[in-house]
Chain A
């Protein structure tokens, strides 16, 4: 234990500490100038980004293995912090428009982000549990941020009850795995399983329950029931953050626990994850077809994408493919984050002050009225489908290749077929925007427009030149640490 340990969690300390300071500072910021809080929050995030970058490439365990700093954690932390900056920029004008502008929004967002940062570098199941809760509890409050609006209330209650239920499963699973291996440290679990000093039945039930708990968090079928309602009811800026951040956080934990700590138990979780992936892809895409509300449609789309990322887990059960599977999952998380933030940004621009303007029909005529915005939305829809030259294509290509390498050809086929199905409802948005006549009411807010521009640029740029991203991901070495 030395001061280096504190440097290892510096990004987390910055974000969580800054949130606590802001909580007090915000009390003396007048109600009509909450932009100051937003600006200060972004400053804190930039400081945290600097902290991550300055220590990029360092690999070490801190606090007796409770915290792991490696390429995997640094990469994910950068992703989370970037998502945080964009989420704050998207929220600023939206909150004023819906008349729910309060400084606590940004503070809760920072707290939730700090949970994600902790999740990325968790090296112990205790820290995983703590991070999941730190990530979720502020999100429950954020979902309720538009109270007394009835749909926000309902969304928050559903999210809270099912989220708490899921964390019950998660922590029970953790307790059973602890009982089976006699340790909560991820590195210790690898050793315990290799030396066969475990109780297999407890390990089987325990890892299954962890899968259920985290499956709820990432909205995988059959634990997805809450997603459409919560995403629809929550304020749209919260949904945008939730859909990207919470999901990426859940997958950070899934990848870390199952691929780096439980590879010895792969026989047990491989069939489970395989079926979850297949079901999630199929059901998410099929249910999305019948949706008329764009928020619900994107909610089902996010379920479907959880299925695609889930494919990395059964693929990683084959040890030779595992490092590549982790990289493919990370790449897909980035593509998902960029594209989805952009798509939700367009939804934010189209939403009216009273919370209407969310039907897909409301998008008719957008191509004529705001060509740039319509083009961006078209790009995001193509990327979500997985059509070149967008980043979504690269992500799917990489992921399917890994799945085929792991000899799971039927799973890759399910992925391809469901992607084809998804083309129907994604392209319908494009058709409505360009082929139908209408007079859409669109907002033009500087911050929101710039986030849409940045994400659209990213979607296109990484679609034709993914080299930079791939190079960065290739440095990720999740597995080296325990070998």
Chain B
């Protein structure tokens, strides 16, 4: 729409992959309906887990907030339909670990009764911080897969934003939820982008769409109409063209600094789905309650996209497309390059669930055994970040974590290109994840050990003092006893004192393991009470350090 066609820049490496998109993008998006129970994890985003604001047994309405933010980087959770909270407990969640996490379970009542809500047709009358607040309250997070709270990315602080980019690349094979969204709700995306533009005061808006999505491109073009300030650009289909840094480079030729953010170069990039969610939140007043999920793969007889209420169990969705959860195929959340395997089909759809990829058992191949690295360098040729994957692998394998960081481990976007091409079939990305987790763990351990050392020093000091005081007391007692001419064991002489000491020691021991209800706290002297208060204060600060998010 601007003067000339935008000059595109080619990022290094990448892969030409069969996109397998036509499997799932021929049918329109259909509402998946209301399941009997919704399971809403408190953590569906990057950042601090939300805190439940409802109680078990409470009736909730559609759109009602059921868990609120805990801290700056956090997102609230809302009831996607009306019903009754039946449990707040650990349930299987979609996560690479396969572990369970706190969830709010709602038995739906089928009435789909809305809470009172109101939109702002005239978003331009709101200022940026009001918009951010509404977006934060609507629980919107990056819907492209990362799940970072959106309102934070709409807060540039003092920095001037030149370019607002919308990511409609959807570069990973099989996934078509953004494709379908762009086709069917292009107006919402454009309106959402306008709101974001207003919040950021961005000078230009650019939407990047991979050139294999012809219909989506046409729909967006139609929605933009004659507007001059939104540029719609086809980007070459090459994985991972939809990586945030890759897309920014492709469209602008600018590199997001290593360890930096797009903000650092005056840019902000959001997923098209996020833009549509922002539109709904601001103009309609609807929090994020549902999303489009692609159900595809050879294990699904009727692949298509469904509009799914957050919290819908995956097995309910599979049933709608006649997928069989009992067959031991492979179920992946996300795409084949970056998604992770799901072990529990009762785990729910969350805000970041863009795709459920099910492979028929006959298509599930055992990954070939890894052979030694022959240093062929194919991995370096496809790496979009220009890393040297085999050196990273070499050092990660040897647990040389300093070296791994020298080789820029933390610039790795885990796109999987290196593993894909490796002729030795080495699960390279797995090694990088391992190294990252180990490094994070080491950092946490260091913090913990620092705190522990401090605690230990205080304890030694206290023990020393106690010993000294005891000695003095004994000396006094011995002196007084000697006067009476009695000779008895001091411990026996003061059984009450010994009992208190023993109780204190037990408390000390238990404190190491878990926080416990304080015991034996009646009949304490003032000094003892003060000491216990001191200990409690230190314990609280230590716990706080332990529990700080990674």
Task: Verify that A and B bind, or say they do not.
Answer: no
